[in-house]
Structure 1
Amino acid sequence: MKTANPGRHLLQSASRVFRVRGICTTRPPSDKAPAVRRFWRSAGVDSRNGKYVVTLDDRPIKTPNGAQVQLAPSQRTLAWLMAGEWETQKEFIGAHSLPLTSLVCRSIDGLSDTATRADVVDKLLKYFHTDSACLHEEYPHTLVELQQRHYTPIVEWTRKAYGIEISLTSDMFALKQTEQATQTLRKVLTEFSPLKLAALEKATMAAKSLLIGLALVEHHVSAEDAAMAAQVESNSQTQLWGHLENAHDIDNAALRQILGASACVTIGA
């Protein structure tokens, strides 16, 4: 049966957020990708067999592989936010404007497979040995200050949360974490749900840091805090050389969209 109408305020709120942030498509994609027109009148959320499903004209959405997207009872808010993504599409569908749906589909189509999950864990642990949050330069002063402000709290939280030692260095080629720390994190990541692992994968790749991604999906830091940590080096350069309006603004928005989506899907996951 359908969920109660009061839940629609979440859909309306999500619609306003996505419109304000300008991530709805009003024109077809480039010639390299086929343009897919909006084919539904309205998006919503239904409760079916104890699960939440996002619907387009009362038809549940499916993953690219054809699996029906079903969300747990604890993920009601996520379901409405996903519906908001679809509601705010314009004439053509933009894949970049469906970040929540993309993560959920990744968790179902890819990360429900044991071998794929193991490969993703291996890939994420490689970031641990080149982690930007573990690279602490000694100059310039602006960079050192930003590293202390944004990197150090995340490193300290990781040490305490998982009981591991984390090496810091100013030389990326000298950075090497211990086998004990690596195996401890491997165990942690292996126990993540498919959806949480999908969120961590996306956040880590965007931030170039497993530690920042972990702090985000474990809700130790906000998406904005994670973005500031991920942009320590670029923000240091901006302070020295100035702001490039178009390039920096686009990068800032894209990063926050990815990190925000990664944080949202892990609520109740």
Structure 2
Amino acid sequence: MHSISKRSAFTLFHNRRDRLYGRLIHDIATRFNEKDSSDSFDLKTLSDGYQILLNNNPFKTPSGKIFEFPLRKHNLAYSVLLECRSFSPKFFEYYFSPLTSLSIRAIDIFSEKKNREQASDRLLKYLDTDTILSFASKDESGGDLLVLQKKMWGPLHEWAQKYWDVQILKTNNDFGIIMNPQPEKTRNLIKEWVCNLDQWQFAALERAICLNKSFIIGAKMIATANSSPIERLGIIHMM
């Protein structure tokens, strides 16, 4: 019986692991790049919007609703079409497609106003722990961190108070992000604004808040959606 050194066994194990890993990656890539010539996604223009088609039939969301977009969402409709076309319909996975999954939230869930009202309470919790409202103390990092935060986050804080015409409290501490409950009047006015958003705006707000851990950054992205590209680029720079 031949003995094998620990080093050889270790090398053999890792070589085999790498081969299996490489084969797995190849199989996954093949799966998602596989194209069936008989399947195709298209966009149909309606009198009041756009509809995603799969093989000339309405493409549906997981809950069975038809993928339809209003006329004002033509850019989103075409973007979702491109995402759909990037995968084989046979293996299409919604969670790999950010705009498609966002659209599903808008169509399946937030098309109902009662669902938007229920979700608004969950989103407002981010306001009490908003990243841009948690400032460092004057002593931390020799005060340099506070100076930088005021430069980056100060304008956002001022914008939020002016936009909703409310008082928004911020904190200065050495403990990072802590609970910072906002006045009831502030919460009520902002909640009213949130609940009046349409299903597309609400879905986008939810995604922006969760990604940035900031209610205010998410809200400004929605409130200034029709602003100049330069202003929108400035918001993205803060993310």
Normalising by structure 2, we get a TM-score of 0.73
Distance 2:100 2:26 in 1: 19
Shift of 1:38: 5.7
Match of 2:28 in 1: 28
Shift of 1:44: 2.5
Residue identity opposite 1:130 in structure 2? T
Distance 2:202 2:116 in 1: 8
Shift of 1:130: 0.9
Residue identity opposite 1:89 in structure 2? F
Distance 2:154 2:195 in 1: 26
Match of 1:116 in 2: 115
Contact 2:60/2:66, CA 8 A, preserved across alignment: yes
Contact 1:42/1:87, CA 8 A, preserved across alignment: yes
Are residues 146 and 64 of structure 1, via their aligned partners in 2, closer, same or farther at CA, if it must alter by over 3 Å? farther
Distance 2:27 2:68 in 1: 30
Shift of 1:111: 1.3
In structure 2, the residue corresponding to 1:71 is in which secondary structure?
strand
Match of 1:56 in 2: 54
Distance 1:110 1:227 in 2: 27
Shift of 1:144: 2.8
Contact 2:60/2:67, CA 8 A, preserved across alignment: yes
Distance 2:112 2:26 in 1: 36
Are residues 118 and 38 of structure 1, via their aligned partners in 2, closer, same or farther at CA, if it must alter by over 3 Å? farther
For residues 72-111 of structure 1, what are the structure 2 equivalents within 5 Å?
A: 72-89=70-87, 92-111=91-110
Which structure has the greater CA radius of gyration?
A: 2
Match of 1:170 in 2: 172
Contact 1:45/1:53, CA 8 A, preserved across alignment: yes
Contact 2:94/2:100, CA 8 A, preserved across alignment: no
1:193 to 181, 189, 198: 198
Are residues 44 and 174 of structure 1, via their aligned partners in 2, closer, same or farther at CA, if it must alter by over 3 Å? closer
Larger mean Cα displacement after TM superposition, 38-47 or 202-211: 38-47
Residue identity opposite 1:28 in structure 2? I
Distance 2:82 2:33 in 1: 18
Contact 1:134/1:168, CA 8 A, preserved across alignment: yes
For structure 2, the residue ranges without an aligned partner over 5 or more in a row are 1-24
Residue identity opposite 1:111 in structure 2? F
For structure 1, the residue ranges without an aligned partner over 5 or more in a row are 1-24, 231-269
Are residues 213 and 59 of structure 1, via their aligned partners in 2, closer, same or farther at CA, if it must alter by over 3 Å? same
Distance 1:95 1:225 in 2: 30
Shift of 1:173: 3.7
* Percent of matched pairs sharing the same residue: 24
Are residues 86 and 186 of structure 1, via their aligned partners in 2, closer, same or farther at CA, if it must alter by over 3 Å? same
- How many residues of Structure 1 are paired with residues of Structure 2 in the alignment? 201
Match of 1:261 in 2: none
In structure 1, the residue corresponding to 2:28 is in which secondary structure?
coil
2:189 to 184, 187, 195: 184
In structure 2, the residue corresponding to 1:55 is in which secondary structure?
strand
In structure 1, the residue corresponding to 2:221 is in which secondary structure?
helix
Larger mean Cα displacement after TM superposition, 105-114 or 176-185: 105-114
Are residues 170 and 108 of structure 1, via their aligned partners in 2, closer, same or farther at CA, if it must alter by over 3 Å? same
Contact 1:85/1:97, CA 8 A, preserved across alignment: no
Larger mean Cα displacement after TM superposition, 119-128 or 144-153: 144-153
